A and B are shown apart, each in its own frame.
Chain A
Amino acid sequence: MSLPPLVEPATELTKEEVARYSRHLIIPDVGVEGQKRLKNAKVLVIGAGGLGSPALLYLAAAGVGTLGVIDFDVVDESNLQRQIIHGQSDVGRPKSESAKASVAEVNPFVDVVLHTEQLTSDNALDIFRGYDLILDGTDNFATRYLVNDAAVILGMPYVWGSIFRFEGQVSVFWEDAPNGKGLNYRDLYPEPPPPGMVPSCAEGGVLGVLCASIGSIMVNEAIKLITGIGEPLLGRLISYDALEMRYREVKIRKDPETPTITELIDYDTFCGVVSADASDAAAGHTITPAELKGKFDAAEDFELIDVREPHEYDIVNIKGAKLIPKDRILSGEALAELPQGKPIVLHCKTGGRSAEALAALHKAGFSDATHLGGGVVGWANEIDPSLPTY
């Protein structure tokens, strides 16, 4: 069942626009009214990269009147294998500017709005408010959860696509869908994988043309939502395998356990994104829950320090751990409270914050300090299942 059109029609199409869009206008389902809706539509594309490139070009060609582009990156030669909105002469140029020039060449009737800042919890709501629909083609989990939560808060629909090597996934999320079957990305994937568990395209590679396969489905869904035709992908996930040449469809249902989203959070923390310093510090200085248990069992003399916040400590803690929130360690304020001449083991929820604090400790001379990989959640999962996790 189709959803009501997302966008009201523009008042008219000019003679030039009728000529340009004639192949749309003669499709009865689109027609002049559908084309006027496209003309009036404001669509924000997040990332002018692999998925954003074909998506922007086809949205522009289709006559979407206003296209927003968010990208703070510059064109690199390694992008050109798939990011077809950019060309050889664009290498070194901001992607947003390059995308704007290509869109102008495809369709001069499109207004392009550039957002060259990084999308953050501070600016996402203000940026999104100016649009009817969002296409999410970003390349990291933190931004994907941010896009989702901001769209949920604003009640906006968005088209989501994701790619890796020969496989892509695509769906439509709209918590406030007018058909009452609303859901969001967290109903599909409640939690991001731990950092390093799932390789990115930069680490694992991606077949260039896969971007077109998934990007074109995303644009198809955008056009359907804007004009109110067809069967939207809301509530369905398409998984595409280019090697098998097969599309599989599975149902997505509202998960009653998905928490209500009321505000934007720190998505780097949520996704366990750590700095280069932290990952350097953690290399060779990470112990497993089993190794920590071994230290307790052997009655080793060491200090376990929980670097989370007091309210998290109240939810669950490892017996014997001393609470010193990370920020007090990073600021140097708590360094005097750390034991001298005694091995220190740091832990947090899942290992991200403790790695940051570990880097600070190493710099302060506590060179044999380690941290617990997987944090208290790993401890609860592997060693003490009686503990709650959060």
Chain B
Amino acid sequence: MTGMAVTVHLPSMLRELADGAAEVTASGETLGELLDDIATRHPTLERRLRDESGVLRRYVNFYVDGEECRRIGGVRAPVGRSTEVMVIPSVAGG
């Protein structure tokens, strides 16, 4: 894994799993590598984003510069230096 630092924006629902941070910085060339990196520091957060077999959970969406990651390779979606990754979970409150 190379040291490309990428900002991952978290919804408030998941921030308590990242010590309250709205954003975490992670390194990697792909979304999967970013999540691997996040898992080393915030394992509970990573488990809410991927299941036990490393598959992205279907009720949490990842957007790489505004583009939904399932369209661009899922965990293999490439991320670059200027990328912002947004995590948007399914919520049903009304």
Contacts and interface: CB of A to CB of B under 8 A. Distances in A.
B58 interface: yes
B88 interface: yes
B53 A385 contact: yes
Contact of B53 (A49, A201, A381): A381
A193 B55 contact: no
Contacts of A141: 90, 92
A281 interface: no
B68 A169 contact: no
A382 interface: yes
Interface stretch (A25-33, A243-251, A354-362): A243-251
Interface string A248-259: 111111010000
Interface residues of A, number: 48
A373 interface: no
Contacts, number: 100
A191 B11 CA distance: 19
Contacts of B52: 381-382
A139 B55 contact: no
B72 to A, nearest CB: 11
Chain B residues touching A, range:
20 to 34
Given A204-B13, A250-B86, A162 B93 contact: yes
A164 interface: yes
A139 B91 contact: no
B93 A193 contact: no
A250 B88 contact: yes
Nearest to B91: A164
A69 B85 CA distance: 38
Contacts of B9: 248
B80 interface: no
A157 interface: no
A50 B86 contact: no
Interface in B60-94: 61, 63, 66-68, 70-71, 86, 88-94
19 contacts: A47-B94, A51-B94, A141-B90, A161-B94, A162-B92, A166-B12, A167-B12, A169-B91, A192-B59, A193-B89, A193-B90, A198-B90, A198-B92, A250-B66, A250-B68, A252-B68, A253-B68, A253-B71, A255-B70
Interface of A: 47, 49-52, 136-141, 144, 161-167, 169, 188-193, 197-201, 204, 206, 237, 239, 241, 243-244, 248-253, 255, 381-382, 385
Given A161-B94, A189-B59, 13 more contacts: A136-B94, A162-B92, A164-B13, A164-B93, A165-B13, A167-B11, A200-B93, A201-B94, A239-B88, A241-B12, A244-B22, A250-B86, A255-B70
